[in-house]
């Protein structure tokens, strides 16, 4: 208040949306959440063990030393009136029972893909297609990995034409923000077309 007059502008109450970040083992989910989160991200990482090596396929990601065992969590304000809560899913098969819990109430999802291990993306794509959860595929462009045209990746993953596909660098904040903005836009278009966010 100044000189006895109150400001006519009221604080904006932001809309909060839940977005999943999914994909195969070692694809960069924890990295993406950490790159964009404006709070210290919650991580549930454990060191890879010799016991887990037979079930954790590290071909192509031999330098990986930790793995997510529950979820990653972060928050980002895309606009003054829009806040995203990010939930990164564990990548290994043995933790997929957590996905149904994490997917409840999600507006949409990012499926991160790695061209060195593209087959690892099939399970996530199938999961969101079966539950009618809008998703965007983001190819994480790892150093030294082969680069392919978007249409080649789309055909290899057998994606529907309306599923957005883009290239990104999960380490770069602006690149990751573009991916998240694309997910929100795609999901809101789907909701506007009469499809409600999935609640599993």
Tens of pLDDT, residue by residue over 30-57, are 999 999 999 988 765 455 444 444 455 5
Residue 4 lies in a domain: no
Is residue 25 very low, low, confident or very high in pLDDT (cuts 50, 70, 90)?
Answer: confident
pLDDT at 192: 83
Report the CATH number at residue 168. Answer: 3.40.50.300
Residue 124 lies in a domain: yes
pLDDT at 104: 95
Q: What is the mean pLDDT of the chain?
A: 84
- Top pLDDT among 52 and 104 is at 104
Domain count across the chain: 1
Query: Is 123's pLDDT higher than 90?
Result: yes
Q: Which domain holds residue 117?
A: 15-192
Residue 38 lies in a domain: yes
Is residue 94 very low, low, confident or very high in pLDDT (cuts 50, 70, 90)?
Answer: low
Residue 114 lies in a domain: yes
Residue 184 lies in a domain: yes
pLDDT at 130: 96
pLDDT at 198: 55
Residue 82 lies in a domain: yes
- Top pLDDT among 58 and 76 is at 76
Residue 6 lies in a domain: no
Query: Is 200's pLDDT higher than 70?
Result: no
Query: Is 79's pLDDT higher than 50?
Result: yes
pLDDT at 87: 95
Q: How far apart are CA 96 and CA 116, in angstroms?
A: 22
pLDDT at 11: 73
pLDDT at 13: 86
Is residue 63 very low, low, confident or very high in pLDDT (cuts 50, 70, 90)?
Answer: low
Residue range 139-196, pLDDT digits in tens: 999 998 889 999 999 999 999 999 999 999 999 999 999 999 999 999 999 888 765 5
Residue 10 lies in a domain: no
Percent of the chain clearing pLDDT 90 (strictly above): 62
């Amino acid at each position: 208040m100044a000189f006895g007059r109150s400001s006519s502008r009221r604080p904006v109450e932001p809309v909060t949306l839940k977005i999943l970040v999914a994909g195969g083992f070692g694809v960069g989910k924890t990295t993406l959440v950490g790159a964009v989160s404006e709070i210290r991200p919650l991580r549930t990482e454990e060191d890879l063990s010799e016991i887990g090596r037979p079930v954790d396929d590290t071909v192509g990601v031999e330098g990986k030393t930790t793995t997510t065992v529950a979820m990653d969590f972060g928050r980002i304000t895309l606009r003054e009136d829009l806040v995203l809560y990010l939930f990164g899913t564990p990548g290994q098969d043995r933790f997929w029972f957590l996905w149904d819990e994490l997917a409840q109430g999600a507006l949409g999802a990012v499926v991160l893909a790695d061209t060195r291990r593209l087959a690892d993306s099939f399970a996530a794509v199938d999961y969101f297609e079966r539950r009618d959860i809008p998703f965007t595929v983001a190819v994480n462009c790892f150093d030294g990995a082969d680069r392919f045209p978007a249409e080649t990746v789309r055909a290899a993953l057998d994606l529907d034409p309306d599923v957005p596909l883009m290239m990104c660098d999960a380490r770069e904040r602006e690149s990751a923000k573009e991916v998240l903005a694309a997910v929100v836009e795609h999901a809101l278009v789907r909701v506007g077309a009469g499809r409600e966010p999935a609640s599993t």
